[in-house]
Amino acid sequence: MIQKDIILNALNDETFDDLEDRLQYECAQYINAEYIITRNINDFTNSPIPAISPKDFLKIIEEQQKQEH
């Protein structure tokens, strides 16, 4: 469930043109996410949290798993 303060922050944030992108960013920030995983990377060019494609995220996970073994 999205908390009220996340929604209010998203409504007041003018970093992103799209409200949905703002909400995704605010949620990612709230949970201290390392990445925003999206097919619309260009929508997050102003994001302090790097946006990566699902394909690139899977590559990162695979690389981490290789390092663990």
pLDDT of residue 68: 87
Residue 16, strand partner residues: none
Instruction: Give the integer Cα–Cα distance in Å for 20 and 13.
Output: 12
Model pTM score = 0.79
Segment 17-40, tens digit of pLDDT: 888 999 999 999 999 999 999 999
The pLDDT score that the predictor gives to residue 56 is 97
Mean pLDDT in the chain?
91
